[in-house]
Amino acid sequence: MNVEQEVLKVLDEVLSLGGRSASFTRETHLLGAIPELDSMAVVSLITTLEERLGVTVDDDAIDGATFATVGSLVDFVDGLLTG
């Protein structure tokens, strides 16, 4: 599985970006840069990632830095998958 592609797919779906995530790179800023990514969307993103990838995200494992860029989110998810 390509973690980055999966994360981009979930971002596009949960935030209703209409395909905009296809142009995102690892350096694309998320939190504060994408208006659709608010606190409720963060919760939805985490829930969707947990369901799709079969991982569990502890509340204390995430902070603002997790959602700073596409790359930071992909690295976080990759870390969950590789344990």
Domain boundaries, the chain: 3-82
CA 49/CA 25 separation, integer angstroms: 19
At 69 the pLDDT is: 98
At 71 the pLDDT is: 98
2-5 long-range contacts (CB < 8 A, ≥24 apart) are 3/74, 3/77, 3/78, 3/81, 4/70, 4/74
> Residues in the chain, how many?
83
Q: What CATH superfamily is the domain 3-82?
A: ACP-like (1.10.1200.10)
The ranges of the chain with pLDDT < 70 are none
Give Cα separations from 6 to 9, 15, 19, 45, 47 (angstroms): 5, 14, 13, 12, 14
Q: How far is CA 26 from the centre of its chain?
A: 11
Question: What is the pTM for the complete model shown?
Answer: 0.94
At 66 the pLDDT is: 95
